[in-house]
Amino acid sequence: MNLSLRWLADYVKLDVTPKEFCAAMTLSGSKVEAFEEEKTKLDGFVVGKILSKKVHENADALFVCSVDMGGEAPVQIVTNAKNVQEGDLVPVATPGTTVHEGNESMTIKVAKVRGVESCGMFCGLETLGLTQNDFPYADPKSVFVLQEDCKPGQDVASALGVDDVSVEFEITSNRPDCLSVIGLAREASATFNVPLNVPAPQYHGSDEDITKTLSVEIQNREKCTRYVAGLVRNVKIAPSPRWMRERLRASGVRPINNLVDITNYVMLEYGQPMHAFDLRFVKDGRICVRNARSGEKITTLDGIERELSEEMLVIADTEKPIAVAGVMGGEYSGIMDDTVDVVFESAYFEPVQVRRTAKKLGMRTDASARYEKGLDETSMPVTLARALQLVEQLGAGEPVGTTIDCNYAKPQKPAIPFDAAWINAFLGTDIPEADMIKYLESLAIKVENGQCISPSFRIDLLRPADIAEEVARIYGYNNIPSTVIRGVAKAQLTPEQKFNRTIEQTMAGLGFSGILTYSFISPKYFDKIGLPSDSALRRTTTITNPLGEDTSVMQTTTIPGMLEILANNYNKRNNAAWLFEIGKEYLPTAPDKLPDEPHRLTVGMYGDEADFFTLKGTLEALMKKLGVADVIYTRCDDNCPYDEKSAFHPGRSAVIYAGGQAVGIFGEIHPNVQKTYGIGVRTYVAKLDIPTLFAVSVDEITYKPLPKFPAMTRDIALVCDEAIAVGTLESAIAEAVGRYLEKVELFDVYRGEQIEKGRKSVAFNIVMRNYEETMTTEQADAAMKRVCKALSKLGAELREA
């Protein structure tokens, strides 16, 4: 909503600068986005009077003018304008002024034009930022010869009345009453504590009986509760007067002609949309507000044919719809150059109805934006009267003195209890009751017998809390004290939240940087990681109105998102990346139910130090920190529970089981997938299932006494087939040693000289300890004998030292 401060001054007299006005209005609840002093756009433009005009000595198409600029001596200006004559008043851009024409701008200088000095430039409408709508008499293609009452030397802004201040308000949806000059004047009156003066509109009108010509019938009285109509005879279509054009312009509305301008003017002034019909196109003079019929069509003012549906409300005559109620008029219903008689409409249409219709037809108009927020059901006769008053004032036609008012509006809403003590307790303030009443009355809210009677235009006031807000905003939000909440509340993170925090901190400690990726991905990402076409992960929670395909489905796997980020980093020539993210997967459940949103830890890395075992070691360290024990690694074979195994190198990937449950998958990315993502180095990714990890983790730590007896240590080196996994050897050793095993640790794997091809040498360090007494050498030797036996069963031979 753009407000003209000059217009505002009709209703409330203020003695503040525009800046002070904006600041105070914002703090009382009418938020100002910006304000513009129109005259600043015309700095440097001065009225000049042409004293003489001669043909340029060196150019036939140019003229040299002597111009009275209000100074002591006339100045010389060279122009190519043919339409200026001696004695004309014209706008002159003086030296130093920057002028804009189209997309170009230039600064006026004193310069020689074909050898003759020129000290300025004559301007047309466009250069002044105006159009012919603002000054209909001006020739838009040439210099603007002023017909205004002004004198040489006067600044153009004041000469043309382009010196208003336009204030742009952001009006919230609960205050449609403030989408009007009078509504904002009322707010200003309360804010600055000055009186508001809005006279009731008066007009004379003819004695004609409107009902002889026009009838109104409301068929759907739920959706249209009031319809007021007036009639104007013998209209004279002409430009509206300058003051009206100025105000419309400052409000951001283009002046058209007097009749159209009047409807816009009243809408801006009162917030009530008005519509004007040409009586010729209201067949039989019978207006009917009804639902559209199935298949009915209307061509709206913008020239587009629109198909209506039965739930839409239309203004119709006996034959056809002539307007979509509250949204837009029909093409042939509006004001034309040869219009003689005009019907004015001021009506109340139910907000949801208007909103749905406008949305369905895809046209939001100034009118629909107001109707859909809810208007004052009592304002229709007043706004019609105001329109008719303006018609008389502008000499735009002859209003008929009688009007039609079809009123099915329900009686006033109930009063709201007023309790000053409660308001103070609610706000935490100590405002005297008398002050509260003063604030409320300045907003036209009556306080009587402990009740607030809110005015009809305040559709947002329903409860005591609403009244408290009115008091608070006029008292000033910033005058409310600041206090600390009383009482004690238990506060700590839940075990799950602490678990996530530990993951976050541990991963950062292990050298990985946190990232945040989008939760939605492209369905094509599934192909990029080679996901099987029948994978359940391809069943997604899908956005019906996405920004684009790339962000159209909620991710069912976090792996593609991580790969995208790794690829971006690789493309930017970052030579290494170690990244992690705690994010969510969105796994569909049943139709019309919400998906599950389990947390996942995704880890990704590439670069010199990145390899399978660094990633595995990271995950091991993390799980140890999280209290996840009994961890087993298996190959991503046919039993792999993760469909994303397609993204991994089959020989360099693993599924992690803990406590018997699959908790994640990790490994090197498959060369094909790496290629698809355009990553030129080996890349490693892990995905861990946080809820399952949490379920199998053990939070408690029980202290175990330090050993009192020494350990026995044995190293063992053996040779076996490549096919035998270190893990298999390790478990065999552990089982063979039995209860005194403290630790078995791999310390070397060797292939090469002295070892047959296809075989490897593996060395372990074994630590044994009896916590009850000193372990004897004999016991240790016996254990090692069992170890050797178990290993030879596996086909591993002890390697000679």
Under rule CB under 8 A, residue 597 binds another protein: yes
Nearer to another protein, 315 or 472 (CB): 472
Sole binder of another protein in the list 491, 701, 706, 801 (CB under 8 A): 491
- Tokens representing 340? 């003689």
List 35, 203, 426, 771, residue binding another protein (CB under 8 A): 426
CB of 363 to another protein, least distance (A): 14
Binding segment (CB under 8 A) for another protein, from list 303-311, 432-440, 561-569, 625-633? 561-569
Of the pair 576, 629, the CB lying nearest another protein is at 576
**Residue closest to 229 by CA, chosen among 392, 385, 436, 60:** 385
Minimum gap (Å) between residue 780 Cβ and another protein: 37
Residues of this chain, 453-472, that bind another protein according to CB under 8 A: 460, 463, 465-466, 468-469, 472
Q: What residues numbered 164-203 form the site for another protein, per CB under 8 A?
A: 172-175
- 370 or 652: whose CB is closer to another protein? 370
* Cα distance between residue 711 and residue 400, in whole Å: 114
Q: Closest CB to another protein among 603 and 716? A: 603
**Of the residues 3, 4, 8, 28, which one makes contact with another protein according to CB under 8 A:** 28
Stretch that binds another protein, among 136-144, 266-274, 479-487, 675-683 (CB under 8 A): 479-487
CA distance 386 to 227: 16
What DSSP assignment string belongs to 128-154? GT--TTT-TTS-TTS-----SS--TT-
Stretch that binds another protein, among 316-324, 427-435, 670-678, 728-736 (CB under 8 A): 427-435
Q: Which is nearer to another protein, 200 or 485 (CB)?
A: 485
Could you tell me which stretch among 49-57, 103-111, 567-575, 670-678 binds another protein (CB under 8 A)?
567-575
What amino acid occupies position 30? S
Question: Which residue in 136, 595, 627, 650 binds another protein (CB under 8 A)?
Answer: 595
Near another protein in 606-665, by CB under 8 A: 609
Using CB under 8 A, which of 105, 294, 449, 492 touches another protein? 492
Per the structure block, which two tokens stand in for 794? 């596996």
**Residues of this chain, 332-351, that bind another protein according to CB under 8 A:** 351
Dihedrals phi, psi of 581, to nearest 5 degrees: -145, 135
- CB-based burial label for 714 (10 Å; 0-12, 13-18, 19+): middle
Indicate the burial class of 788 (C-beta count within 10 angstroms; 0-12, 13-18, 19 or more). Answer: middle
Q: How far is the CB of 681 from another protein (least distance, A)?
A: 14
- Answer for the pair 633, 654: CB distance below 8 angstroms, yes or no: yes
* C-beta closer to another protein: residue 344 or 525: 525
User: Which residue do the tokens 């200003």 mark?
Assistant: 188
Which of 506, 497, 504 shows the shortest CA–CA distance to 622?
Answer: 506
Q: Among residues 97 and 558, whose Cβ is nearest to another protein? A: 558
- Does position 31 interact with another protein (CB under 8 A)? The reply is yes
- Identify the CA nearest to 274 among candidates 395, 379, 407: 379
When binding is defined by CB under 8 A, the residue of 425, 681, 723, 749 that contacts another protein is: 425
240 binds another protein (CB under 8 A): no
DSSP for 364-390, please give it: --HHHHHHTT---TT-HHHHHHHHHHH
Site for another protein, residues 384 to 423, rule: CB under 8 A: none
Rounded distance between C-alpha atoms, residue 756 and residue 797, angstroms: 13
Q: Tokens representing 140?
A: 């838009």
Taking the complex as a whole, how short is the minimal distance between the CB of residue 556 and another protein, in angstroms? Answer: 12
**Residue 585 DSSP class:** -
Binding of residue 427 to another protein (CB under 8 A): yes
* CB neighbour list of residue 770: distance below 8 Å, 6 or more residues apart: 709, 740, 779
Under the binding rule (CB under 8 A), the answer on residue 681 touching another protein is no
As a whole number of Å, the end-to-end CA separation of the chain is 92
In this structure, are residues 5 and 37 in contact, taking their beta carbons and an 8 Å threshold? no
Site for another protein in 349-378 (CB under 8 A): 351-352, 355-356, 372-373
Buried b (16+ CB within 10 A) or exposed e, 71-110: eeebbbbbbebeebeeebbbbbbbeebebeeeeeeeebee
Interface residue with another protein, options 83, 131, 407, 568 (CB under 8 A): 568
Answer for which of 112, 572, 704, 739 binds another protein (CB under 8 A) is: 572
Q: Which is nearer to another protein, 472 or 665 (CB)?
A: 472
Footprint of another protein on 102-161 (CB under 8 A)? none
Using the rule CB under 8 A, which residue among 576, 723, 725, 782 binds another protein? 576
The distance of Cα 565 from the centroid of its chain, to the nearest Å, equals 26
What is the closest distance, in whole angstroms, from the C-beta atom of residue 369 to another protein in the complex?
8
Collect all residues with Cβ–Cβ distance below 8 Å to 290 and sequence separation of at least 6: 219, 220, 313, 314, 316
- Pick the closer one to another protein by CB: 481 or 752: 481
Which residue stretch of 143-151, 201-209, 260-268, 425-433 sits at the interface with another protein (rule: CB under 8 A)?
Answer: 425-433
Candidate segments 50-58, 72-80, 564-572, 711-719, binder of another protein by CB under 8 A = 564-572
CA atoms within 13 Å, Cβ hemisphere of 176: 22
Cα separations in angstroms, 48 against 74, 201, 393, 534: 9, 41, 33, 81
β-pair partners for 603 = 580, 686
User: Quick one: which of 26, 132, 213, 402 contacts another protein (CB under 8 A)?
Assistant: 26
CB of residue 446 to another protein, shortest distance in Å: 21
Residue 309 touching another protein (CB under 8 A): no
Q: Is 443 helix (H, G, I), strand (E, B) or coil?
A: coil
Binding segment (CB under 8 A) for another protein, from list 27-35, 105-113, 308-316, 629-637 = 27-35
Nearer to another protein, 449 or 544 (CB): 544
Angstrom CA distances, 800 to 87, 124, 716, 746, 763, stand at: 121, 105, 10, 18, 12
**Residues 497-556 interacting with another protein (rule: CB under 8 A):** 497, 501, 504, 507-520, 541-547, 551, 554
CB of 1 to another protein, least distance (A): 14
Q: Is 2 in the site for another protein (CB under 8 A)?
A: no
Question: What is the size of the binding site for another protein (CB under 8 A)?
Answer: 88
Query: 764 with 746: CB under 8 angstroms?
Result: yes
Complex with another protein: residue 71 or 546, whichever CB lies closer: 546
Bridge-based pairing of strands 31-37 and 165-170 is antiparallel
Considering the complex, state which of residue 96 and residue 546 has its C-beta at the smaller distance from another protein. Answer: 546
DSSP state of 772: S
Contacting residue, 428, 432, 532, 691, with another protein by CB under 8 A: 428
Q: How many C-beta atoms surround the C-beta of residue 704 within 10 A? A: 7
- In this complex, which beta carbon is closest to another protein, that of residue 597 or of residue 797? 597
| Minimum separation from the CB atom of position 162 to another protein (A) | 24
Q: How far apart are CA 771 and CA 742, in angstroms?
A: 10
- The C-alpha atoms of residue 300 and residue 366 are separated, in whole angstroms, by 15
